[in-house]
Amino acid sequence: MEIKNGMLVGATQVPSENKNERPADEISLIIIHGISLPEGRFGGPHIRELFCNTLDCAQHPEFASLEGAHVSSHLVIDRDGGVEQFVSFQDRAWHAGESSYQGRRNCNDFSVGIELEGTDNTPYTNVQYEVLAEVCRLLSAVYGARDIVGHKDVSPGRKTDPGASFDWVRLRELI
């Protein structure tokens, strides 16, 4: 794996319009998220549709709260280790929302968002940890991103992902 011009070589590129320019040329934080649509169902097109503004929110009752949402992430790592990139690392993806880290607000400005297909209470797969660790090493080498946190850490009380099922010790051992 390598990064060229903000893109992860080998990832499936699925451009999202839910992005804008970073206010500064800084990537110092990696935020790990967990996602499944609907909750607990893996595979399928719904995450991609959400990030590309094509999700039919009438398809499932859980999707109603997503009506009109404009969100994205830089990467999604599926259960089998497949990677889709929605936003260049050089751009600001809309993944963390209202957030703060070490007294700094608007974490999207200086972070990369990585979604793992999963839930707070479903263990993530071995290959997801392996791919995530490799991506984190690359982001550190290329951009200097050193801190890795969960969405729950930058949006406490509002978000819980990647959840209790995420093994932070394992990730750190792999990095």
Q: Which of 115, 117, 130, 134 is catalytic?
A: 115
DSSP-derived 3-state class of residue 118: coil
**Residue 46, C-beta contacts closer than 8 angstroms, at least 6 positions apart:** 37, 38, 55, 59, 63
> Is 134 a known active-site residue?
no
Q: How far apart are CA 78 and CA 103, in angstroms?
A: 32
For residue 113 the two structure tokens come to: 């968002």
Q: Are strands 111-117 and 29-35 parallel, antiparallel or unpaired?
A: parallel
Q: Tell me the chain's radius of gyration from C-alpha atoms.
A: 15
* DSSP H or E run through 152: helix 151-154
CB 156 within 8 A of CB 108: no
Nearest residue to 35 (alpha-carbon basis) of 79, 67, 70: 79
Backbone angles phi, psi at 49, to 5 degrees: -60, -40
Q: Which residues are catalytic?
A: 115
